[in-house]
Amino acid sequence: MKICLAGTGAMGEIHMKALQKLDDVQVISVNSRTDDGGKAFAEKWKIPFQSTSLEECIDRPGVDAVILTTPSSMHPDQTILALNKGKHVQVEIPMSLNLPDARRMLDVAKKTGKVCMVTHTRRFSSPHREIRRRIQEGKFHLQHMVVETYFFRRTNLNMHGAARSWVDNLLWHHGCHSVDLAYWVQNDPNLQVWGQKGPNHPELGIPMDMTIGMRSKKGPVVSMALSFNNRGPFGGFYRYIGDEDTYKVYRDSMTDSEGKEVPLDGMPAFDRQDVEFVSAIREGREPESSAASCVPTMALLDGIEKSMNRAQ
C-alpha cells in the first residue's frame, strides 16, 4: 500500500514511526508547507517525492491513501479533494472546525465509498479500550468520568517547541478528543452538554481555559477541565469513577484505586490506529473512528460551543 502524507510537523513524525512498522506499506510522497521543510523531512524518512502542492503529492502514481496532519481548518477541503480523487483518507485531529464541514466530508465519503477515518487516538489506547470493554460486558458501572487536559501553550509552538503556522484550539482539538472519548466509552451520543470559557489570549485569539460538563440519561456524568495556562506535566489525565473501583489513566497506562498497574496489551495507541486504517482499506470495511462514527462528536462540540457563547 502506498501512502501520501500531508504535514511534516510533530504528528507527521509520529505517523511515520508507526507506518514503518507495517508490512508492505510505503509513504511515497509528502506534502509540506515549505519546500525546505519538505525536503528535510523527505530525506530523513527516505520518501521519494515531496512538494508544497498537496494535489501533486496525491497524484503520484500508485497512491492508495492520504494521511492528513495539516491544520484543522484545511481538513474539510483537503479530505474532499483526496476522496474525490479516489483515495482513502485518515484525517488528523479533529475532522473539521464545525459541524456543517463534518457533515460535508461524510457526504463525500459515502458518495465515493472510500475509507474516511478520523484520528481520535484515544479510541485506540489500551486503557480506554479496556474501560469500554468492561462497561460493555457489565463488569464496570461508570458513575463519573473526570478529564483534565493540561498544557502550557501561551506561545504558538507545538509539543516539540517548534513554531506553528496555525493556532491550536483548546475546544475543537483537545476538547474534541475528550468529548469523543466520553461518548465512545459509554456508547452514548445522546448526552446533555454545556461549557464555559475564560478570556481570549490577546495574541492567539483563543480562550486559554475552559470547563465542559456532560450528562447521560443513563446516569453517568462527565467533568472536564482544560487549560493552556498550566505549568507542569502536560497531556490528558483521566479518572473513571465507578461502582466497582476507580481507575486512573495517563497515556497508555492505567492504575486502580490502590495505585496498582492494570495489566494491558501494551500496544501503543498510534500504532494500533494506523494498523486499523490500513486494515480497514485492505478488508473493505468501515474503520473504528470512521467519519460516520465521529459526526455525533462534532454535534456535541457544536452544542458546547453554543452554550459557551450564550454564557458570555
pLDDT (tens, 9 = 90+) of the chain, 312 residues, equals: 999 999 998 899 999 999 999 999 999 999 999 999 999 999 999 999 999 999 999 999 999 999 999 887 888 999 999 999 999 999 976 555 678 888 999 999 999 999 999 999 999 999 999 999 999 999 999 999 999 999 998 988 877 788 877 788 888 889 999 999 999 999 999 999 999 999 999 999 999 999 999 999 999 999 999 999 999 888 899 999 999 999 999 999 999 999 999 999 989 999 999 999 999 999 999 999 999 999 999 999 999 999 999 987
SS (H, E, C) 254-305: EECCCCCECCCCCCCHHHHHHHHHHHHHHHCCCCCCEHHHHHHHHHHHHHHH
CATH of domain 123-265+298-311: 3.30.360.10
Q: What angle do CA 256, 260, 264 make, to 5 degrees?
A: 80
Phi, psi of 43 (to 5 degrees): -65, -40
With cell 501533486, the residue in question is 56
List, in order, residues 6 or more apart from 65 with CB less than 8 Å away. Answer: 1, 2, 3, 4, 87, 88, 89, 90, 115, 277, 278, 281
Which H or E element spans position 101? helix 99-112
**How is domain 2-121+272-288 classified at the CATH fold level?**
Rossmann fold (3.40.50)
**Residue in 151, 309, 162 with CA at minimum distance from that of residue 233:** 151
Burial class from Cβ neighbours inside 10 Å (0-12, 13-18, 19+) for residue 203 reads exposed
The residues spanned by each domain of the chain are: 2-121+272-288, 123-265+298-311
Burial of 199 (0-12, 13-18, 19+ CB in 10 A): exposed
Give the phi and the psi of residue 149 in degrees, each rounded to 5. Answer: -120, 110
Q: For the whole model, what pTM was predicted?
A: 0.92
Q: Per 3-state DSSP, what percentage of the chain is helix, strand, and coil (rounded to 5)?
A: 40, 25, 35
